[in-house]
Structure 1
Amino acid sequence: MSEPTDEQGNPSVTAPDGRRVEFRVTGPPDGLPLVFHHGAPGAAVPFGPLEDAAVERGLRVVTLSRPGYGNSDPLPEGTAPGTVSGTAADTRLVLDELGATDFLTLGWSNGAPRALACGALLADRCRAVAALSGYAPPGVVGLDPVAGMDENSAAEYTAAVQGPEELEAVLGEEVRSMTAAALGTLEEIMELLRAFLPPVDQAALTGGLAEYVLSGARHALRQGVVGWRDDDLAVVRPWGFAVEQIDVPTRIWHGRLDRAVPVAHGEWLAAHVPGARTHLLEPEGHISLLVRLNAMLDDLVHAAG
């Protein structure tokens, strides 16, 4: 394990293909690991609301920066964008480095398919899964993946389906907007972010959640859009596993007012992940769902037995 190398103070471990995998660990050293899979763009940064709730339950939070985010190296040329299932291998690598065996996992947005991958591919170690505001796999029958999405989310998803060049153009424009906003005050930055959100998410994007979303985006984009690009591309291509093969306790959480990943995705997962217990919440959106973290962790710990 390397020494911390950046302002986040995060260590890293080297993958078999030579990549540096950055990770963050907080909480009691002897606590059961809770592996958190961030959204897009995102990275291993402090997430106060989750870390505080986890510590109260004796859990140790482990977060990986996926390839190309933060200080994690991008996937080698010729293997990018990789697959969603690749996160399970990196998760095993970090847990081995920490000397951990069993773990719980929770993923939000782009991270939700990665949490499901851990349930499918690390079933010998994963005791329970929670997928929050997560996508359904690509190409499933009877689901229009962009129906009900806000304009920006639909443009990003559609560009990912079209290919890397189209996606880079869309993400580049988003990054330019973020960069311009970053020259202003914190409140000006947050107002820009809120402008793209429905009212329920605008109201939730304050305090610890606002700090997490902003710091995650900043650290994620240290290397430009490479991580964000590959993250999105992997979600709209074959995942490398079938959700139907998951046989560990799984919880599906989704807000019915979600416009970034519409609730139809959560409904599809609920119908296809064996034995999944589902929470489709009428008053919640994509970000406001995270206000329920205490209930989510209680449910996840109970599911693990």
Structure 2
Amino acid sequence: MTDEFDVRVGDRTLHAHDTGTDAAARLALVWHHGSPQTGAPLEPMLAAAAARGIRLISYGRPGYGGSTPRPGRDVASSAGDVAAIADALGLERFAVMGASGGGPHALACAALLPDRVVGAVTLAGIAPYTEEFDWFAGMASPGALRAAREGRDARARFEETDEFDPDQFLPADWAALEGPWASLGADVGRSEAYGPGGLIDDDVAFVSPWGFELDAITAPVLLVQGEHDRVVPAKHASWMLSRLRRAQLWMRLDDGHVSVLDVVPDAMDWLVQRA
């Protein structure tokens, strides 16, 4: 069971979720959702957290799940939002975990809240845009991100005709969506009610300067990556590994973009050991 609540940040509202205030919780963990989702905690996350005595907090980034849109936001801005939520809950220290589009935002918290974040995990997380390698290589459908490189207006125009490409997912991804991660697909469907603004702003933020450098992160970081991911190619993880101070990479040889989420329980154990 989770509580839903709103947090005011200036003239904006963030819609958040919290599994409770159990004083015996071994760790507080802030979850950063993928793009697009609502920010509501997913069933496998809740089950894994409960089994480990972890307090799970999640929220909708601006434009998602009832949180006020914030066009022009950068990746770094999520750190201030998470700090506001943590302050509202009385949390001094916590871990962060993000999947896909949530990965960069988890790293932002680790970089910009160094006295509060005890560890970070990204699963299939996208890397900062760079020309040091072919950033788009291996993406089955890079059109949205290429449009985002031209600015928000271009990304919004692309959204008007964009259609989901099923070839982005491996058979293992489809099996995950039909099985243990069915709640993820359902949440993506619910996110449609809030419009495409959050997704557009995410994409523009990903291909723009993030507002921090990876080597500024002093907390331990775990990168989890599916070797055959067609949404966020494996090169993104290996490139980030070379620039993070205290990072490990778990390369999943048979996983794609969704099936890699099966590692969430193990990743939670990794965070608990560093709390």
Please give the TM-score of this superposition, normalised by the length of structure 1.
0.84
* Correspondence 1:178-193 to 2 at 5 A: none
> 2:14 maps to what in 1?
21
Match status 1:113 vs 2:104: yes
Shift of 1:166: 2.4
Which of the residues 213, 226, 232 maps onto 2:185?
A: 213
What's the CA shift for 1:290? 0.4
Could you tell me whether the CA contact under 8 Å between 2:110 and 2:120 is conserved in 1? yes
SS for the counterpart of 2:209 is coil
| Counterpart selection for 1:201 from 173, 176, 186 | 173
**2:200 maps to what in 1?**
229
Q: Residues 195-232 of structure 1: CA distance to partner in whole angstroms, max 9, x if unpaired?
A: 642222122212341222322x2343333111111111
Contact 1:254–1:279 (CA under 8 A) maintained in structure 2: yes
In structure 2, the residue matched to 1:101 is 92
Q: Does 1:276 align with 2:244?
A: no
Task: Give the counterpart letter for 2:116 in structure 1.
Answer: R
User: Which sections of structure 1, spanning at least 5 residues, go unmatched?
Assistant: 1-7, 179-192
Contact 2:41 2:58 in 1 (8 A): no
Say what the alpha-carbon RMSD is for the aligned residues: 1.8
Contact 1:69–1:222 (8 Å) recurs in 2: no
Deviating runs (4+, > 6 A) in structure 1? none
Alignment partner, residue 6 of structure 2: 12
CA contact (8 A) 1:194 1:205 kept: no
Distance 1:281 1:195 in 2: 19
- Normalising by the residue count of structure 2, what TM-score does the alignment of the two structures yield? 0.93
Tell me the amino acid that sits aligned with residue 254 of structure 2.
P
- Per-residue CA deviation, residues 26-84 of structure 1 (Å, 9 max, x unaligned), is 25533231000001011222301011101111111111100111110111xxxx22110
Three-state SS of the structure 2 residue aligned to 1:39 is coil
Q: Is the 8 A contact 1:200 1:288 kept in 2?
A: yes
Identical columns (%): 34
Written as runs of structure 1 = structure 2, the 5 A alignment for 1:24-103 is 24-27=17-20, 29-30=22-23, 31=25, 32-75=27-70, 80-103=71-94
The CA deviation string for residues 219-264 of structure 1, in whole angstroms up to 9 with x for no partner, is: 4333311111111111110000000110011111111010000000
CA contact (8 A) 1:244 1:272 kept: yes
Is 1:35–1:63's contact at 8 Å kept on the other side of the alignment?
A: yes
2:237 equivalent in structure 1: 266
CA distance in 1, matches of 2:19, 2:161: 34
1:118 Cα offset (Å): 0.8
What amino acid sits opposite 2:86 in the alignment? L
